[in-house]
């Protein structure tokens, strides 16, 4: 079979969004957060425009994996239970995002609660040393999970620590597979948490995103630095997807992290919203013609229930209502003017065929040239597309080899 006709090149689904979801989930199999056979079997019959079928496939697969975990747990097979629960959490996480293609959102909260319950079951059954933590944050707390490095990995009483920051819509299971599991295996403590606008903070508490992410990572650093077994001089931070912006923004103001990794580099979040928008619509935004912009957007949304649902889903974390108000909020998410303030050693991944923020890893590297290292990934390595979905083993190797030289043993 020629390369041009392979599934890797042509895609696992003719729907580009479905295809990307599949690539991300299949890639997470490297950390046992998916089983490729059951994923491909469950989604094989879903055609390009079948959004209800896409949601149902992932919901049902999550339920099936959860049932496997329950059976294994009841029989005392803790390893099998932990692996099944992790897969279930990952699959339910895709179902949460698939709600954006449905006509109503009645399935949203149940799907999120299913992924969180499966994640908690994984935490309860994993052999890793993990504790649930509450991170003080502006009069409330952020939910977190602190995984301690194996005792033999520590130097004296402490080990290096990786704080992981999720993207705009990723599940904890996906974040764990992308960064947490490979970090723990290399002797790092690992913190996962929900920040403003992410997962439980959004779906259960209604707390939206914020652009000034240093107001999040500073209290996170303060909390982690005080945990037993943490060397405060060796705390690094990793951000995936849209967290490529959040981590970069935070590091411009919070300089205590020993190193940072952004996967990929993101300078201006709004580019992924406006890249395919007609120039006349952008002009209305630039000229402050909000009413005209909203009117024209509303007119366009009437012709596509799918587009309207997707917009509503993507806009929700920003805590906005109108179309113009949403884009004006998203436009605040840029590090163009502050990136030069970053003094932390920074690794920036740059995958070939980056589909959401093309060219931005290179731009971030230019803005931070004194402290940053650009790490390209290619299609020839199987590592193209946003966040290198089918090459997470290679990505982890490259990221952690770089990080080990700065904060590792």
**Residue 6 belongs to some domain of the structure:** no
Taking the C-alpha atoms of residue 355 and residue 346, their distance in angstroms, rounded to an integer, is 22
Q: Are 259 and 236 in contact, with CB atoms under 8 Å apart? A: yes
**Residue 4 belongs to some domain of the structure:** no
**Residue 303 belongs to some domain of the structure:** yes
Domain end, chosen from 92, 122, 152, is at 122
Tokens at 21, concatenated = 């979801």
User: Do 28 and 93 have their domain in common?
Assistant: yes
User: What is the domain range of residue 366?
Assistant: 128-269+333-407
Closest-CA residue to 357 (of 222, 265, 258, 256) = 265
- What CATH number does residue 229 fall under? 3.40.50.1820
Instruction: Kindly tell me the number of DSSP H helices and DSSP E strands found in the chain.
Output: 18, 8
**Residue 1 belongs to some domain of the structure:** no
User: Do 370 and 315 have their domain in common?
Assistant: no
Closest-CA residue to 264 (of 286, 244, 234) = 244
Q: With DSSP H G I counted as helix, E B as strand and the rest as coil, what are the percentages for the chain, rounded to 5?
A: 55, 15, 30
In this prediction the pTM is 0.96
Q: DSSP readout, 306-329?
A: HHHHHHHHHHGGGT--SHHHHHHH
Burial of 289 per CB tally in 10 Å (0-12, 13-18, 19+): middle
User: Do 233 and 368 have their domain in common?
Assistant: yes
User: Do 211 and 350 have their domain in common?
Assistant: yes
**Residue 340 belongs to some domain of the structure:** yes
User: Do 154 and 240 have their domain in common?
Assistant: yes
**Residue 57 belongs to some domain of the structure:** yes
Tokens at 218, concatenated = 């500073």
User: Do 287 and 375 have their domain in common?
Assistant: no
Closest-CA residue to 375 (of 407, 390, 397, 343) = 397
User: Do 166 and 108 have their domain in common?
Assistant: no
Provide the residue-wise pLDDT of the chain in tens; the chain has 409 residues. 344 558 899 999 999 999 999 999 999 999 999 999 999 999 999 999 999 999 999 999 999 999 999 999 999 999 999 999 999 999 999 999 999 999 888 999 999 999 999 999 999 999 999 999 999 999 999 999 999 998 766 666 789 999 999 999 999 999 999 999 999 999 999 999 999 999 999 999 999 999 999 999 999 999 999 999 999 999 999 999 999 999 999 999 999 999 999 999 999 999 999 988 899 999 999 999 999 999 999 988 888 777 787 888 899 999 998 999 999 999 999 999 999 999 999 999 999 999 999 999 999 999 999 999 999 999 999 999 999 999 999 999 999 999 999 997 6
State the total domains in the chain. 3
361's CB contacts (< 8 A; 6+ apart) are 244, 262, 264, 265, 266, 348, 349, 350, 354, 374
User: Do 23 and 111 have their domain in common?
Assistant: yes
Q: Are 274 and 359 in contact, with CB atoms under 8 Å apart? A: no
- Helices 305-315 and 290-301, interaxial angle, to 10°? 130
End-to-end CA distance of the chain: 45
Scanning 101-213, the segments in alpha helix (DSSP H) are 108-125, 172-175, 181-185, 200-203
**Residue 8 belongs to some domain of the structure:** no
Q: Which residue has the tokens 């992981």?
A: 164
User: Do 264 and 355 have their domain in common?
Assistant: yes
194's CB contacts (< 8 A; 6+ apart) are 142, 143, 144, 166, 172, 200, 201
Cα–Cα distance list, 319 to 201, 209, 210, 251, 313 (Å): 12, 7, 9, 24, 11
Burial of 286 per CB tally in 10 Å (0-12, 13-18, 19+): exposed
User: Do 390 and 302 have their domain in common?
Assistant: no
- Residues in the chain, overall count: 409
**Residue 344 belongs to some domain of the structure:** yes
Whether the link from the prior residue into 165 is cis, omega within 30° of 0, is no
46 φ, ψ (degrees, to nearest 5): -85, 120
Domain end, chosen from 295, 314, 330, is at 330
Domain end, chosen from 122, 150, 170, is at 122
């Amino acid at each position: 079979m020629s390369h041009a006709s392979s599934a890797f090149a042509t895609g696992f689904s003719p729907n580009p969004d479905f295809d990307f979801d599949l690539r991300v989930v299949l890639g997470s199999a490297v950390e046992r957060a998916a089983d490729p056979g059951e994923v491909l079997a469950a989604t094989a019959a879903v055609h390009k425009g079948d959004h209800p079928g896409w949601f149902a496939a992932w919901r049902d697969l999550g339920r099936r994996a959860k049932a496997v975990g329950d059976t294994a747990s009841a029989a005392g097979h803790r390893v099998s239970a932990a692996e099944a629960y992790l897969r279930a959490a990952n699959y339910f996480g895709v179902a949460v995002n698939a709600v954006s293609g449905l006509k109503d959102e009645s399935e949203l909260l149940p799907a999120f609660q299913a992924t969180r319950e499966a994640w908690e079951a994984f935490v309860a059954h994993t052999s890793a040393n993990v504790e649930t933590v509450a991170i003080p944050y502006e009069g409330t707390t952020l939910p977190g999970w602190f995984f301690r490095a194996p005792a033999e990995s520590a130097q004296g009483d402490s080990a290096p620590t990786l704080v992981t920051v999720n993207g705009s819509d990723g599940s904890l299971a996906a974040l764990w597979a992308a960064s947490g599991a490979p970090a723990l295996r290399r002797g790092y403590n690992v913190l996962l948490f929900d920040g403003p606008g992410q997962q439980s903070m959004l779906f259960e508490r209604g707390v939206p995103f914020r652009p000034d992410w240093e107001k999040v990572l500073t209290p996170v650093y303060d909390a982690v630095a005080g945990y037993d077994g943490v060397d405060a001089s060796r705390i690094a931070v990793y951000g995936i997807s849209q967290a490529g912006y959040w981590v970069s923004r935070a590091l411009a103001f919070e300089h205590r992290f020993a190193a940072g990794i952004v996967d990929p580099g993101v300078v201006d979040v709004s580019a992924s919203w406006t890249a395919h928008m007609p120039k006349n619509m952008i002009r209305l935004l630039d000229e402050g013609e909000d009413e005209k912009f909203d009117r024209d957007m509303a007119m366009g949304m009437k012709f596509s229930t799918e587009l309207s649902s997707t917009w509503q889903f993507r806009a929700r974390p920003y805590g906005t209502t109108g179309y113009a108000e949403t884009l004006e909020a998203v436009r605040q998410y840029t590090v163009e003017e502050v990136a030069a303030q970053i003094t932390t050693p920074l690794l920036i991944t740059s995958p070939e065929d980056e589909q959401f923020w093309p060219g931005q890893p290179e731009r971030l590297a230019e803005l931070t040239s004194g402290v940053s290292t650009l790490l390209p990934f290619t299609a020839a390595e199987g590592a193209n597309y946003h966040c290198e979905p089918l090459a997470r083993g290679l990505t982890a190797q490259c990221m952690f080899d770089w990080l080990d030289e700065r904060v590792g043993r």
